[in-house]
């Protein structure tokens, strides 16, 4: 697969009309060193120290090196992933980074309105040698919903060369102006767009700390696989929108709280400041219910695939059961796997 370099937009950082025109044309904006590397390095230390305490990094190594203990491999959707991820999620510095002025002000120039940073901040923490769980090709709208002009802001917390597995985008793909068909997949979100429906060349780069990629909810993108021997990839993956646009109700909740019922009070327990606690409740937001049809379709496809012996689908059904065997999905999964004699 040929990869082309992301177009750098630092030359128009202070020109809102040109920012909007380029975003409208290409479906992404990429900035070198938009965010302060020193602030990100401090955040990296906090995040990776927490992961080391959770057993994800090799004991005794410098957490800044992110040397993963491969025996603890896990990913989004695994119960053991959520256990450590939510300890990272409770870090006040992690949430504060989603409100850094350089990011919020840039999104403001792009959309020309007052900006709402989504309460649901997200970190992506990816193990090496786990390529089958690489985030698949998708549009963000199926996961975050609300409105098409919700913007993803992705930034590595540390240098992220191509082999570590940064993000790649398909320029102009947002012009479809609709949500494409998504199907079952492994990887974050569990949904993918079929590659035979896509044309064009993928753009990515050897990201450096501070680099920032911004794109709207319909731009097709994916993660590249983490092909390193032992390094864990850490990145910020937050969302922003105009305050007066609709937001989906689940984006007002902690990320992955459906797996363990994490509450904001749990997140805030050790915070030193009250400044960002429940900040969105003071706003007059238009809140839409979550559309579960995307998730449900992916699950039903996994059921069909598992019955045909698809190992990825069997793995996914087992994961659903491990999370909570009492859910309706888990009960259906149990029936199928018992029929296959693989439970």
pLDDT score, position 336? 95
Instruction: State the average pLDDT over residues 36-41.
Output: 98
294-304 pLDDT, tens digit each: 999 999 999 99
Contact 4, 30 (CB under 8 A): no
Q: Say yes or no to pLDDT of 27 above 70.
A: yes
pLDDT score, position 259? 87
- Residue 34 CA to residue 106 CA, distance in Å, equals 9
Contact 187, 134 (CB under 8 A): yes
pLDDT score, position 306? 97
Mean pLDDT of the chain: 96
138-172 pLDDT, tens digit each: 999 999 999 999 999 999 999 999 999 999 999 99
Rg (CA), the chain: 20
Candidates 320, 331, 263; CA nearest to 79 is 320
The percentage of the chain sitting over the pLDDT mark of 90, rounded to a whole number, equals 95
Strands (E), the chain: 3-5, 29-31, 115-117, 123-126, 151-156, 167-169, 183-184, 191-192, 202-204, 212-216, 221-223, 233-242, 247-248, 287-288
pLDDT score, position 1? 66
97-149 pLDDT, tens digit each: 999 999 999 999 999 999 999 999 999 999 998 999 999 999 999 999 999 99
Q: How many CB atoms lie within 10 A of CB 194?
A: 12
- Residue 199 CA to residue 171 CA, distance in Å, equals 10
Q: Say yes or no to pLDDT of 61 above 80.
A: yes
pLDDT score, position 118? 98
Contact 212, 154 (CB under 8 A): yes
285-338 pLDDT, tens digit each: 999 999 999 999 999 999 999 999 999 999 999 999 999 999 999 999 999 999
Contact 189, 136 (CB under 8 A): yes
Work out the end-to-end distance of the chain between its first and last CA atoms, rounded to an integer number of angstroms: 37
Judged by average pLDDT, the poorest of 7-11, 15-19, 42-46, 258-262 is 258-262
pLDDT classification of 341: cutoffs 50, 70, 90: confident
pLDDT score, position 196? 82
pLDDT score, position 326? 93
pLDDT score, position 333? 96
Q: Say yes or no to pLDDT of 2 above 90.
A: no
Q: Say yes or no to pLDDT of 343 above 90.
A: no
Candidates 285, 213, 245, 277; CA nearest to 32 is 213
CA angle 278, 237, 2 (to 5 degrees): 165
Q: Say yes or no to pLDDT of 280 above 80.
A: yes
Which SS3 state, helix, strand or coil, does residue 36 take?
coil
Instruction: State the average pLDDT over residues 219-243.
Output: 97
Query: What domains does the chain contain, in order, with CATH numbers?
Result: 3-289 (2.60.120.620), 292-343 (no CATH)
Instruction: State the average pLDDT over residues 182-188.
Output: 95
pLDDT score, position 199? 87
Q: Say yes or no to pLDDT of 70 above 90.
A: yes
- Residue 201 CA to residue 199 CA, distance in Å, equals 7
pLDDT score, position 110? 98
In the DSSP assignment, the letter for residue 124 is E
Instruction: State the average pLDDT over residues 175-184.
Output: 96
């Amino acid at each position: 697969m040929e990869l082309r370099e992301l177009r750098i937009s630092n030359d128009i950082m202070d020109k809102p009309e040109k920012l909007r025109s380029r975003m409208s044309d290409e479906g992404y904006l990429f900035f070198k060193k938009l965010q302060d590397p020193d602030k990100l390095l401090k955040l990296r230390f906090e995040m990776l120290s927490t992961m080391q305490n959770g057993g994800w990094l090799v004991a005794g190594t410098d957490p800044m090196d992110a040397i993963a203990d491969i025996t603890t491999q896990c990913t989004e959707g695994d119960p053991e992933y959520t256990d450590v991820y939510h300890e990272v999620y409770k870090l006040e510095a992690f949430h504060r980074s989603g409100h850094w002025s350089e990011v919020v002000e840039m999104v403001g120039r792009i959309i020309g309105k007052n900006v709402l940073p989504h309460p649901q901040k997200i970190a992506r923490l990816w193990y090496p040698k786990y390529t089958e769980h690489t985030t698949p090709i998708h549009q963000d709208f199926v996961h975050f919903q609300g409105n098409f002009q919700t913007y993803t802001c992705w930034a590595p917390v540390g240098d992220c060369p191509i082999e570590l597995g940064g993000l790649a985008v398909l320029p102009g793909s947002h012009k479809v102006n609709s949500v494409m068909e998504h199907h079952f997949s492994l990887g974050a979100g569990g949904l993918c767009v079929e590659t035979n429906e896509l044309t064009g060349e993928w753009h990515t780069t050897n990201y450096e700390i501070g680099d920032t990629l911004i794109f709207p909810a319909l731009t097709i993108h994916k993660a590249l696989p983490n092909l390193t021997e032992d390094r864990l990839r850490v990145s910020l993956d937050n969302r922003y929108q105009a305050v007066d646009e609709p937001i989906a109700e689940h984006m007002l909740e902690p990320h992955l709280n459906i797996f363990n019922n994490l509450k904001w009070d749990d997140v805030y327990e050790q915070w030193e400041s009250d400044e960002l606690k429940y900040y969105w409740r003071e706003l007059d937001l238009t809140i839409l219910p979550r559309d579960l049809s995307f998730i449900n379709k992916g699950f039903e496809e996994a059921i069909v695939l598992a019955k045909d012996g698809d190992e990825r689908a069997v793995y996914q059904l087992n994961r659903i059961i491990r999370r909570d065997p009492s859910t309706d999905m888990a009960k259906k999964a149990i029936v199928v796997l018992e029929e296959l004699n693989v439970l």
